Structure 1
């Protein structure tokens, strides 16, 4: 719940709001920890133990099993803990799986662009089609060819764009679908019948610590590993094969390098919280309520609007906002970035909102996290502070 701390107005024509968010952390990654988190959640972590020890490996296995349960995965899907956050998990999937057939890459934000450049410049795939659009817009997903592999992000964290549905993916496809879902897993519904590989990081929706990622592999992806091994050299930290076949030990608690058992314990605590409050339906409901709360403020604001103009493709999780007021829209790009810096500096000074700046690889503006660990009351309290900070920062330019 937001608190009722009073603040003195800075000036008579732009008084400071009277109500601050109880928790001002709205970063899009790493995101706020779940409500009620404390250091005590880590008290039983098997620190100073090898990750191959009985207790440690049981913790890792439990994290895989709880992930499976909370995401309601089909019985024939497998989960592995990966190094390097979502990036490491996605890179491992691309390096180990792609090349057996043509590949289509759909990208519309900085992270999707990474997968595009990897497929083109690092993997040097022979039969590659890329579909890229600027931040705020979605590529034409109907271009997808089910005979080919597809690589895409579910939710463009830095662009405020989320795929509206899974209808564009063929149920009887021949290729694999590789989905980067790092800022969407646990916040929106996922149609597992349309997903063969899915990756995410602990630091996003569940508020875990950074560094580790998760790799979800469907049966068709496992079959690909068992029948295809790329000719290219694959770094050991990205290898999903062992002796020419799928390394199934990864889905039983084995890891490609040494994980942080403190981070594992923290992720377990978040998964337990998610189960405790009602599981995936409640996590999705919280995210939806958070977006609706922020959306009510955006719709009444006269200086900012969604970067994504297509309401059907608009992200309800990592909400990207652009300047639309004439006095702000008339500024050049560097001046708009200066405006963003002014707003975020004021909010941090007042402890009213932290880390709401847009990703530097996107466009100038504001970005606010609405995932399940955020409280709707805090988002409601944030809006007036954004209005105040905008007017102060604009006047200071």
Structure 2
């Protein structure tokens, strides 16, 4: 009688039993793979169910000044306003250059009227520090800077001064967990880079005057477009103040000596990609369908909880941020803890990270989890709302497997 093909023969079973223990695989691969291996911290995974059909109605091959394209841009602005639950009077604009362009437009157009403080602990926070100190050459500047993994002393905030800060350090694994440190009746403006926090955390808009983000982070959109949120106080600053330094056209928020209000009504400073706009609109509609901002935040919380359960049991990595209160639950950064790995030095740790990443990519278990090149060697995993909890739960055993394989290969 023929045996079913899905059953092992007795001979195979006996061979397995008789195999010496020392020759059996010592690091078996996990059985369950993440259904989607994309855990990049930017650009991030698109929302569940995304397909090219989402772009079918994009008004391509048309000028961005025509009726239909302007209507699409205005809809993106209005849906952003609604999804972020912005207060009345807050304005939204679409700018070139991703979050970087939006943040630098705000800095170039708004700063210089009064003293400014920069709170920096991440790659892009360091970028804003360089802009303020070396490019704008602000005369009255204080810099509060810490290495990746540590939050600066935000208690040094002075409400009479402008403040520039990153809400969530994507490459540093550190976030600012609340807004209690900011005065509601401040005199200065608060400029917040929230590119990996918008749509993933609650924001107290009474404490924010300027907020920037990009589509490629929490919403999984395409790159090169930035969003600028402006409070009435920030608009008033534009109406009453213009810095004495030259402002490039792509960063220019003034028009005829006043705030350029056209950019909040669908006009843009240069030509946007209408295909990318359509993609962002699709993500905004998905978010509204599933329950809006509360549901996006809930998904992020569940994602982090799933990964945190593995991290708490891992014996070779730990959070880069030692303070649980400051630990980012969106972009999770992990450092090596094995004494032998630490003693090997940073170059060897970077090599280990590359081996881990290559093994996981080969197995299609995880893509793009290497730490940012300007940070420290380790692993970086995105827990934003477009990622699925089950995929993060399945990821942990694969990380363990790849680490052991990479050590043996090294």
- Would you say same fold, with TM above 0.5? yes
The structure 2 residue matched to 1:137, chosen from 150, 165, 172, is 150
SS for the counterpart of 2:366 is coil
- 1:44 maps onto 2:87 in alignment: no
How far residue 27 of structure 1 moved from its aligned partner, in angstroms, is 0.1
Residue 7 of structure 1 aligns with which residue? none
Question: In the TM superposition, what whole-angstrom CA distance separates every residue of 1:43-98 from its partner, at most 9, and x where no partner exists?
Answer: 00000000000000000000000000000000110000000000000000000000
Residue 293 of structure 2 is aligned to residue 280 of structure 1: yes
Output the CA distance in 2 between the equivalents of 1:349 and 1:331: 26
CA distance in 1: counterparts of 2:123 and 2:158, whole angstroms: 24
Task: Give the Å deviation of 1:316.
Answer: 0.2
Asked if 1:293 is matched to 2:306, the reply is: yes
After superposing the two structures, state which structure 1 stretch, 239-248 or 319-328, moved more: 319-328
Partner residue of 2:325? 312
5 Å matches for 1:5-154? 12-154=25-167
Report the Cα distance in structure 1 between the residues aligned to 2:25 and 2:407, rounded to whole angstroms.
17
Query: What is the distance in 1 between the residues matched to 2:361 and 2:317?
Result: 20
Q: Encode CA deviations 1:17-42: one digit per residue, 9 max, x unaligned.
A: 01100000000000000000000000
Q: Which runs of 5+ in 1 are unaligned?
A: 1-9
Q: Which position in structure 2 is the counterpart of 1:190?
A: 203
Whole-angstrom distance in 2 between the partners of 1:349 and 1:328: 23
Measured in 2, the distance between the counterparts of 1:74 and 1:330 equals 52
3-state DSSP of counterpart to 1:374:
coil
Instruction: Structure 2: give runs of 5+ residues left out of the alignment.
Output: 1-22
Deviation, structure 1 residue 11: 6.1
Partner secondary structure for residue 357 of structure 2:
helix
TM-score (norm 2): 0.94
Structure 2: distance between partners of 1:193 and 1:246? 21
Alpha carbons of structure 1 residues 16 and 227: separation in structure 2 relative to 1, 3 Å: same
* Equivalent-residue separation in structure 1 for 2:400 and 2:300 (angstroms): 23
Please state whether the residue corresponding to 1:131 is helix, strand or coil: strand
Q: Give the distance between the partners of 2:137 and 2:365, measured in 1 at CA.
A: 46
Task: Choose from 169, 174, 194 the match for 2:182.
Answer: 169
Q: Distance in 2 between matches of 1:68 and 1:369?
A: 25
* Match of residue 405 from structure 2: 392
Distance (whole Å) between structure 2 residues aligned to residue 180 and residue 11 of structure 1: 52
Is residue 206 of structure 1 aligned with residue 197 of structure 2? no
Question: Which secondary structure does the structure 1 equivalent of 2:212 belong to?
Answer: strand
Q: Secondary structure at the match of 2:181?
A: coil
Q: Report the CA distance shift for 1:88/1:11 in structure 2 as closer, same or farther (over 3 A).
A: farther
Counterpart among 268, 280, 300 of residue 267 in structure 1: 280
Alignment: residue pair count: 388
Q: Secondary structure at the match of 1:64?
A: helix
Return the offset for 1:12: 1.2
Q: Secondary structure at the match of 2:134?
A: helix
Name the counterpart of 1:5. none
2:345 is matched with 332
Q: Which one of 381, 388, 402 corresponds to residue 375 of structure 1?
A: 388
Report SS of the residue matched to 1:168. Answer: coil
Q: Which has the larger radius of gyration?
A: 2
Cα RMSD after superposing both structures: 0.8
SS at match of 2:172: coil
- For residues 201-280 of structure 1, the aligned pairs below 5 Å read 201-280=214-293
Report the CA distance shift for 1:12/1:159 in structure 2 as closer, same or farther (over 3 A).
same
Query: Aligned residue for 2:372?
Result: 359
Mapped partners of 2:343, 2:47: distance in 1: 40
How many angstroms apart in 1 are the aligned matches of 2:337 and 2:371?
15
Alpha carbons of 1:11 and 1:51: their partners in 2 closer, same or farther (altered >3 Å)?
A: farther
Q: After superposing the two structures, state which structure 1 stretch, 293-302 or 320-329, moved more.
A: 320-329
Q: Deviations over 1:217-241 (max 9, x none)?
A: 0000000000000000000000000
- Partners of 1:326 and 1:261 lie apart in 2 by 51
Q: Whole-Å Cα distance in 1 between the matches of residues 38 and 177 of structure 2?
A: 27
Normalised TM-score (structure 1): 0.97
Any idea what SS the aligned residue of 1:300 has? Answer: coil
Q: Which runs of 4+ in 1 moved over 2 A?
A: none
